[in-house]
Chain A
Amino acid sequence: MRTYIAALIALVCWVGAAKADKKQHRYVGIHPIAKAAGGGVCHIQAPHVHVYAPIDVKVQFRDHDGWNYFVGDPVAYGWDGPKTSYYGHHPVPVDVIVEDDHPDTEYCYLEGPHFHAWAPPPKLDLELRAGAYWYVGTFPPAYAEGRVGYDPIDVVYQPIRYERPTVVVDAAPPGWYGAIVVAPAPVVVVPARPARVSAGVEIHVPAPSLRVEIGVPSVRIGIGGGVVVHDRHDHDDDHHDHGRRGGKGKWKRGRGHR
């Protein structure tokens, strides 16, 4: 009798849990499909729903008017549609990409070469160099504020083996600010170069002067205050901005929330 009661309770709990899992999750744009739901990439661009939750929602998705928008690299999950190469951090004009009227600019915090399924709109300050787009505009305070929570996105991609864009450059474009991610390489000597920030602070960010081949990242070169290269070792001391772009700013996105 006890066994039957225990089995009944277990069954009720299981049914309850199964029902709880059936909650609708709202998405807009393409995104990775949960492994439990088959994996791969969902191709639906329009707002839509699934019963599975977004993967790594805290770093890979942004809220766009109540819908989950994927800001990561879809190629890592098997995307075989149109794609564009980017290098380093850059704005993501979500409203332009999903073609709606809720103004929303988010930021991609992926280091080094990566893909997105969208081609950049003309108004974005991106420079095409070595086949990849580099953001050479000014980052607003919202970018620095978001960095604390979103920067760990690279950790999600570290174990994923896929072909990233190969970017071969002699130097980063003037105005670009970020960390160069390179294949195993020796020491790089760099000249000083200023980067722009919206807070009016001038930061001296050196850019590489040697030819650097950038492919599957395994080494991160910190830029600023001299360059250090460690084989298979992250050197983040100089790579992170230490609040250099911080400060309260005037820029604030308008956004229609539900």
Chain B
Amino acid sequence: MIAPRRLAALLVALAACGGSEAKPAGSDDGMVAAWKAAKLDVSALTTVDAKPYGATACRGGTVSGVDVVLCSYGSGEDAQAAQDLGLAAVGDATGAALARGARLLVVVDRRKADPTGRTIDAITAAFRK
């Protein structure tokens, strides 16, 4: 039997968890929200092949004309180690591959939509926050 005071505290804690509308920053949805907050035009993120990135799962799309891929890994070390795979995926375009926690962001400007890098800077800055 839970004491009433403890039960109340538990209910408050549950309400606090469930009542928040904010997406966790580490999630894809949270990332999309952060990009939109930075006034970037974000497409839907769809599943992409995770093999080239050595990841467990990846989703990709475009942000203001720049290609982005968000990948998940089993650990932060795995994500860090995958940065070189991400840079390989950038190929001969301008781009970046950044790990944060157990996630990797790969940004590639294949269509030269961002000649001065302002968009990529905004994308990566939101990811690194």
Contact = CB atoms under 8 A, between A and B. Distances in A.
Contacts of B87: 24, 49
B115 A38 contact: yes
Nearest to B115: A38
A40 B116 contact: yes
B32 to A, nearest CB: 19
A157 B112 CA distance: 29
Interface centre among A33, A41, A44 (most CB of B within 10 A): A44
B121 A46 contact: yes
Interface in B71-113: 87, 90, 92-96, 98, 107
Interface string B6-39: 0000000000000000000000000000000000
Tell me the interface secondary structure of chain A in the complex: loop
B120 A48 contact: yes
B125 A48 contact: no
Interface residues of A, number: 17
Contact of B98 (A33, A38, A47): A47
A22 interface: yes
Number of contact residues on B: which range applies? Answer: 10 to 19
A45 B116 contact: no
A24 B124 contact: no
B117 interface: yes
B92 A22 contact: yes
A44 B92 contact: no
B118 interface: yes
A244 interface: no
B27 to A, nearest CB: 20
Nearest to A41: B116
B115 A45 contact: no
A42 interface: yes
A48 B117 contact: yes
A50 interface: yes
Interface in A85-125: 99
Nearest to B112: A38
B5 interface: no
Contacts of A50: 94
A22 B88 CA distance: 12
Pairs of residues from A and B, 7 with the lowest C-beta to C-beta distance, nearest first = A44-B117, A46-B124, A48-B96, A22-B92, A42-B117, A43-B117, A43-B121
Given A22-B92, A48-B96, A48-B120, 15 more contacts: A24-B90, A33-B115, A40-B115, A42-B94, A42-B117, A44-B94, A44-B121, A44-B124, A45-B124, A46-B121, A46-B124, A47-B96, A48-B117, A49-B94, A49-B95
22 contacts: A33-B115, A33-B116, A42-B94, A42-B116, A43-B117, A44-B94, A44-B96, A44-B117, A44-B120, A44-B121, A44-B124, A46-B121, A46-B128, A47-B98, A48-B95, A48-B96, A48-B107, A49-B90, A49-B94, A49-B95, A49-B96, A51-B94
Interface of B: 87, 90, 92-96, 98, 107, 115-118, 120-121, 124-125, 128
